[in-house]
Amino acid sequence: MAESPLRVVIVDDHPVFRAGLRAELDDTIAVVGEAADVGAAVAVIAETRPDVVLLDVHLPGGAGATVPEGSTGGAEVLKRAAHLVPGTRFLALSVSDQAEDVVGVIRAGARGYLTKGSAGIDVVKAVHAVAGGDAVFSPRLAGFVLDAFGAAAGETAAVPDELDRLSAREQEVMRYIARGYAYKEVAAELFISVKTVETHVSAVLRKLQLSSRHELTAWASARRLL
């Protein structure tokens, strides 16, 4: 890529993991900062104003910051830093596949979610996608979303703008992603453009973040998220 590399901050409390991740990223990505806890992360993000923050879901509080009971360090970083750097996009990384943790970070404003086991090339792709304004959904996250919006029970939005339910097309896209299809493959299956797939995914992400749907809130509060 001819453009200047994407500026990325890695937030993870494990030096080994940070080093490993840094080694995996190719030269389209420049790591401009690292942080190991919530306090340091907020400071580094505010100072460097990166394009993308790779954010671990579980983080210790660190200097001058505590992680409230029921929240996660990742969600806390988003709460404190997101409004300081409006241009920055956050991509959550986690070893935890606990639905509540992942949905908590997404609802706090992350643009996507990857498991830490993902290969380096996938991380690079995801960083570029997030930087370009797209959402990154792993199959697991797509499954959570379908579950949380009651798609399995046959709930479909009557109008596309409805926040509490997914439209038929959005459900279709989510199902393909949950079945392991990449955006390109989803586009081929549905005879639509990749851009349209991305639009649908972004719409789902917006609904996930803004919806006051009962299951989402009940789900979250049952696990002391909000």
Partner 1 sequence: MSPLAPPMRPPLTRPRACLLSGVSAGLARHLGLPVWVVRAVFVATAFLGGAGVYLYLWFWCFTPWDALPGGAGGERAERAPVTRTLPVAWLLLGAAAVSVVLSWLVLGTAGLLTSFGFLALLLVAGAGAWSTFADRADPGRGRGGERAVRIAGAILLGVMLVVAIIGAGSATEAALSTLLVALAAALLFAPLLLAQWRELGRERTKRIREEQRAEMAAHLHDSVLQTLALIQHRSGATSEVGRIARAQERELREWLYAGDSAPDADLATDLRDWAAALEIDYAVTFDVVVVGGSGERASGELAAAAREAMLNAARHAGGEVSVYLEGSPTRVEVFVRDRGPGFDPADVPGDRLGVRESIIGRMRRAGGRAEVRPGKAGGTEVHLVFETPDQNRTGGAHG
Residues in region 107-146 near partner 1 by CB under 8 A: 115-120, 139-140, 142-143, 146
Q: Is 216 in the site for partner 1 (CB under 8 A)?
A: no
Residues in region 186-205 near partner 1 by CB under 8 A: 188-189
CB of 93 to partner 1, least distance (A): 9
CB of 36 to partner 1, least distance (A): 11
Q: Which of 100, 77, 72, 104 lies closest to 90 in space, CA to CA?
A: 77
Alpha carbon of residue 131 to chain centroid: 12
List the strands of the sheet with 89-94, edge to edge: 29-35, 6-11, 52-56, 89-94, 113-115
Residues in region 19-58 near partner 1 by CB under 8 A: 20-21, 24, 58
Number of residues binding to partner 1, judged by CB under 8 A:
37
CB of 46 to partner 1, least distance (A): 25
Of 8-16, 32-40, 125-133, 214-222, which part binds partner 1 (CB under 8 A)?
A: 8-16
CB of 51 to partner 1, least distance (A): 22
30/95 with CB nearer partner 1: 95
End-to-end alpha-carbon separation of the chain, Å?
41
Interface mask toward partner 1 for 149-188; x: CB under 8 A: --xxxx--------------------x--xxxxx-xx--x
Cα separation of 13 and 5, whole Å? 25
153/222 with CB nearer partner 1: 153
CB of 34 to partner 1, least distance (A): 15
217, 148 in Cβ contact below 8 A? Answer: no
What does the binding site for partner 1 look like in residue numbers (CB under 8 A)? 13-14, 16-17, 20-21, 24, 58, 95-96, 98, 115-120, 139-140, 142-143, 146-147, 151-154, 175, 178-182, 184-185, 188-189
